[in-house]
Amino acid sequence: MPKIKMAAMRYTQGGREMYLTAMSAGELVNMVSRPERWDHKNMDQHGNRPHSGPHTKGIVKYLDDNEDFVLGAAVLYLTSNESSFKELQIEGVTDDTDAATIGTLTVDVGTRFEVGDGQHRLRAYETIFRGRGTSDPTVQRLRESGQPLIIVIEDDPRKRGQDFFDLQQNVKPMTKSVGQALDRRQPISQCLDRLVNSNILLKGRVDYSKDTPGKNSDEVASFKTVHYCSGLILVGNKYRTPATMDAAVNAQLTEDNDTATQKIHEFWDAMADLPLFAQLVAGELATPEIRQDTYLLSANVLYAIALAVYRAYDKGTPIQDAVASLTNVRFERTTKTGGITMYDTIFAGNLVDTTTGKLLSGRDNWEAAADLLHEHIARTAL
């Protein structure tokens, strides 16, 4: 029977034989079986999670948009009688104490791999190769690229299913702040990279590791909060998902980078002049003190401020004047735990629960707070 031979590296995990190799996406599409949806009635079936069309479309778009793409290894399965491995003797490399052995992995032509982890990556490849011609630039790019594979030798479908659970359990998703900061393809991330390193308020005071800084944190805000506030300054709150909002923000930065960047810098420069922040910059106050005694460092209050300033600017008030008018707003936390009114805080009934004094966090809440702040700006701005 004809054979397919692949360069591979053999190793073991948990006592099982595994192989690390790579194949071109085009070849791989023809060698992988589509996973069956897991059915609890058939406990001897490996199965997988349901296929998500939007997730696959997202990967296709990523491959189309980015020549310098990167996709992690897919986990595939073979049974113990579907493959063989021949070790290559390489002096100084293959040794009894080495964790990995280099050699040739052989499978019969027509062998079908079962997908453990990576069905959406593989379905994206299938969508591209079976729906486009050979002259398509993404097809050409994928033909010249390798998809890394971890091939696990496992006969028991239950253990294959357990592997899928374990792989998902042992992966920690990154925070929004880290993801947004690292995605330098986005114009907004490039803009904020420069902003955070130059703005007197934000420099050294932005938390990249968390989306919500702790009460004793020295950081003014998370990168996620700075990112969203900056987006609000450019496009307001008419976009209901982060993806559509980012697309609109990035479009503005692409079409008129100087003007859009200037608006963002003007906003944060003006924020640095607010009395509490000015005291922080001058070393007269510590960030935890501001967070403990006022609402000013709540992400939702910052969102409300940014949206109110956007609306004021849209009606002709300069950004600096709009922010400066907030000097007269009392951001102090109320100590009351009931019967809270507008005399206690401007955020009563929108961002502050009037019956408990607790801070609320819904979008409707900070949008309502923005309405009040905008009214204040309209009355008091120069």
Note the pLDDT of residue 150: 96
Write the CB contacts of 130 (distance below 8 Å, at least 6 apart in sequence).
Answer: 29
Count Cβ atoms within 10 A of the Cβ of residue 313 and give its class: 0-12 exposed, 13-18 middle, 19 or more buried: buried
> Which residues, in sequence order, are CB contacts of 12 under 8 Å at separation 6+?
18
- Alpha helices, DSSP H only, in 93-207? 119-131, 137-143, 157-169, 176-182, 187-196
Q: pLDDT by residue (tens digit) across 228-264?
A: 999 999 999 999 898 899 999 999 999 999 999 999 9
Note whether 202 and 213 are within 8 A (CB): no
> How many residues can be counted in the chain?
382
Per-residue pLDDT of the chain (382 residues; tens, 9 = 90+): 788 899 999 999 988 999 999 999 888 888 887 766 665 555 556 666 788 899 999 999 999 999 999 999 999 999 999 999 998 877 766 556 678 889 999 998 888 999 989 999 999 999 999 989 999 999 999 999 999 999 999 998 888 888 888 888 888 888 889 988 888 889 999 999 999 999 999 999 999 999 999 999 999 999 999 999 999 999 999 998 988 999 999 999 999 999 999 999 999 999 999 999 999 999 999 999 999 999 999 999 999 999 999 999 999 999 999 999 999 999 999 999 999 999 999 999 999 999 999 999 899 999 999 999 999 999 987 6
Helix axes 363-380, 299-314, angle to 10 degrees: 50
Amino acid 70: pLDDT? 94
* Report field, pTM of the whole predicted structure over 0.85: no
Half-sphere exposure of 20 (CA within 13 A, CB side): 11
Give 99-147 pLDDT, tens digit per residue. 888 999 999 888 899 998 999 999 999 999 998 999 999 999 999 999 9
CA distance 122 to 48: 14
What pLDDT does 280 receive?
A: 96
Q: Which of 6, 48, 12, 11 is nearest to 28 (CA)?
A: 6
pLDDT of residue 40: 59
